[in-house]
Amino acid sequence: MARRNSVEQLPKPVRDWLDNSLVAGNFSGYQALEDALRERGCTVSKSAIHRYGQKIERRFAAIKASTEAARMLTEGAADDQDARSEAVIALVQTELFESIVNLQEASDEDIDPTERIALLSSAAKNIATLSRASVNLKKFQNEVRSKVEAAAAAVDKVVKNGGLSDDAADAIRRQILGIAT
């Protein structure tokens, strides 16, 4: 089993303070954080704080990006083609990819080889599930697109046979296809 780093061995209140200080300091000022921890009776090197800070910063950035993506998705209108699911699948695929890269970068000291294999196996299973979901989603989107285009063509034919102008037929077609401004 890998040895926990010195920051993770800190008492929870001190680690919580460090987390907040890292965020408040925009993940900088590691020397000052080392000094402040020493004043609190904890000996942690600037390098260990920096490694820990990078990990927290990556998590913070991922949460921020996911939150922003979710906000943008919910601001959208109708989701007939299931664009939200597509975005969620993409976010999860990105996170899995980053996790695999982190796992590959981890040394044998960080993670037991048996645990590494189990994590990679689990990731592979999840990637397969996501790939199937992505394929099914694209199939659904293509079916919706085909039905909408067929409906637009049928309406276009009816409208033109009914005596409407080409401009009016084109306006109706754009409305059905969702490209009206």
For the ranges 49-58, 106-115, 142-151, the one whose mean pLDDT is highest: 49-58
Over residues 108-131, mean pLDDT: 78
Of residues 109 and 50, which shows the higher confidence score? Answer: 50
pTM assigned to the model = 0.42
Rounded Cα–Cα distance for residues 158 and 180 (Å): 20
Over residues 107-132, mean pLDDT: 78
Of residues 137 and 39, which shows the higher confidence score? Answer: 39
pLDDT tops 80 at residue 32 = yes
Over residues 37-53, mean pLDDT: 90
Q: In this predicted structure, what is the pLDDT of residue 17?
A: 92
For the ranges 19-28, 58-67, 78-87, 169-178, the one whose mean pLDDT is highest: 19-28
Task: pLDDT band for 3, please (50, 70, 90 cuts).
Answer: low
pLDDT tops 50 at residue 65 = yes
Give pLDDT tens digits for 91-105: 777 887 777 777 777
Give pLDDT tens digits for 71-91: 665 565 445 556 667 777 777
Q: In this predicted structure, what is the pLDDT of residue 31?
A: 93
Of residues 1 and 88, which shows the higher confidence score? Answer: 88
What backbone phi and psi angles, to 5 degrees, belong to 5?
Answer: -75, 165
